[in-house]
Structure 1
């Protein structure tokens, strides 16, 4: 850990200097100062070990009311996938859609989708044209979200490059529901909610009743922090092993890379060069863990405003990899 040293007033005020360029120890007060002018940021919490050392909500609904975590939901689906495999509902990440959930495949599906594996889905490497971005509206306005996603043309080889698509994670969520016999809400509450002592409200369902697999979940920042600490602590909470340590290890191995942020991606989690394990949601929602530094971090932000890698999300990464990593 870096030795505490004093900041000059000029350095503290130099907004133009990137956070990552500041190799100085930081204090919680410094973090408060640095987020004061980040108008999109609603809340930030940092836990080191068992101690919450930063808990600030300068705007937004606060630390004890739910926030839409957007695509951080994809990382939650990743944890539920590991649980389903551990329970034997799914034999392995190599199991195929046709083996596990043939009932959700429409008659006019794109040829080959029955051979998509759980790993293809959880790593966003299904090869199907994405349903995010310009295709999102047509997808969520369709009468069958799973069928719509499975009818997208194959634009890459399955298991190849990452194609960011909420439809892919929604397919995975439907597979989990079929394989376990429990909907995603029931799974989330049983696997994470009850063991972690957090509330998980019901969220959006598709026309067939499948809970949205990859968007629209809502958690309080305090609940998000417990999930961050779970990732930091190899799937443990207090003395209980909630998610297998092996699944956490598998989840945090780079399988592909985001074409947008350049971050590596595992089983539902982004991975930074500095050692952060990250769930990322639209607008700047973040659940992060840094096992080496014994840190868990959450950030909630305005869920209606984009947070691009070259813009606000980049600022949040600078905040994580600079001041937060340098906390003393």
Structure 2
């Protein structure tokens, strides 16, 4: 997924049938308490205007073209809004038909998986499996020693984390195009060798280029240093501590989990990952990843364009609400998957959707939820449907 596909740099457009705050249900109760580790609260208990935030569901119901599947909002560690929708869905390109989504339905994260992989790198640094993120990548992958050269040894883990390896890569093409680099990697007998064999298009660290291959190499390093496949490592050091048990990974033909886009989780479990990051690496008082790593991962590491920055596999952007600039970090996935984190309001928003064939609507859906409903509801500015 490219910047063009992932973060909007233009104004939101109007959508037919969008509802306003006046259409909110008269009763906006707390989400269901499911004994799954999530405390719940009614929106008003956590400082939201109920009429504004609860207008969101009717607005999305009135906009079927948006194909939203789930929206969850949590603040101060409590889930305050949860709404599911029926819609056409797929599993990594395999059509699933029309699905009545609910709290138990797993959903593709697509490239939010990259943000999860970065957390695993942080845990590997914390445990000492990785000593230095400025170490050459190939020094940590002895099985590819034949590819080492003075030029290739300039690529470090930091470059992979910030998608600035300099290796030639093209995900601007549609994923259906056989020339797309992600597709070529996925179809290769050895995906990691495929990435490492690419020629240079820039000096490492010089510029950002969106690359699922960079994330794949991070997974290869994690497997090498930990002695565990990515899915086993993730379950052991991240998902089990978070209480996440219902996990699915799409895999390469060689059997390895797809680190760049293959994770499938339930929406409440996506929100757990967001809460972990908002709490600077802790979940309900238990330390899982260091605060120092979370701070680095969600801080600007490399600029992209028009004020958009990138951390360690996390996007960094901003919104306007109540006359103020609101900064956020986000996991961003193809098809409209979004995990927005707003530290200034101790707030997270999960959006899942089925817009895999509608790149023109993916950004608009997520930013409509965040900018036109959630942020205005907590900051006091007006809300409504997608803007002109």
2:19 and 2:359 map into 1 onto residues whose CA distance is 26
| Cross-structure match for 1:47 | 74
Which of residues 292, 298, 321 is equivalent to 1:252? 298
1:194 and 1:234 map into 2 onto residues whose CA distance is 18
How big is the shift at 1:99?
A: 2.3
- In the TM superposition, what whole-angstrom CA distance separates every residue of 1:50-70 from its partner, at most 9, and x where no partner exists? 321210012243222110110
| Cross-structure match for 1:317 | 367
Unaligned runs of 5+ in 1: 1-9, 15-23
1:115 and 1:104 map into 2 onto residues whose CA distance is 15
> Is 288-297 or 196-205 further displaced after alignment?
196-205
Q: Does 1:86 align with 2:126?
A: yes
- In the TM superposition, what whole-angstrom CA distance separates every residue of 1:189-220 from its partner, at most 9, and x where no partner exists? 11221111012534233344432121111000
How big is the shift at 1:303?
A: 5.6
| Cross-structure match for 1:175 | 221
How big is the shift at 1:237?
A: 0.8
**What's the secondary structure of 2:373's corresponding residue?**
helix
Distance 1:293 1:176, change over 3 A: same
- In the TM superposition, what whole-angstrom CA distance separates every residue of 1:130-183 from its partner, at most 9, and x where no partner exists? 153333332222211111111111111111211101111101110111011111
Tell me, yes or no, if the aligned pair for 2:53 and 2:373 is still in contact at 8 Å: no
Tell me, yes or no, if the aligned pair for 1:118 and 1:172 is still in contact at 8 Å: yes
Distance 1:84 1:35, change over 3 A: same
| Cross-structure match for 1:266 | 311
Q: Does 1:243 align with 2:282?
A: no
| Cross-structure match for 1:145 | 191
Return the structure number with greater strand share: 2
**What's the secondary structure of 1:147's corresponding residue?**
helix
| Cross-structure match for 1:296 | 348
Q: TM-score, normalised by structure 2?
A: 0.73
Q: Does 1:212 align with 2:261?
A: no
Tell me, yes or no, if the aligned pair for 2:248 and 2:265 is still in contact at 8 Å: no
Distance 1:303 1:173, change over 3 A: farther
Distance 1:215 1:33, change over 3 A: same
2:307 and 2:77 map into 1 onto residues whose CA distance is 31
1:11 and 1:139 map into 2 onto residues whose CA distance is 43
**What's the secondary structure of 2:122's corresponding residue?**
helix
Q: TM-score, normalised by structure 1?
A: 0.86
Distance 1:164 1:110, change over 3 A: farther
1:213 and 1:172 map into 2 onto residues whose CA distance is 8
Distance 1:89 1:303, change over 3 A: farther
1:79 and 1:247 map into 2 onto residues whose CA distance is 8
How big is the shift at 1:306?
A: 4.0
Q: Does 1:32 align with 2:61?
A: no
2:236 and 2:186 map into 1 onto residues whose CA distance is 27
Tell me, yes or no, if the aligned pair for 1:131 and 1:167 is still in contact at 8 Å: no
Alignment of 1:114-133 (within 5 A): 114-130=153-169, 132=171, 133=173
Alignment of 1:191-210 (within 5 A): 191-210=237-256
Aligned CA RMSD, in angstroms, stands at 2.4
Tell me, yes or no, if the aligned pair for 2:249 and 2:258 is still in contact at 8 Å: yes
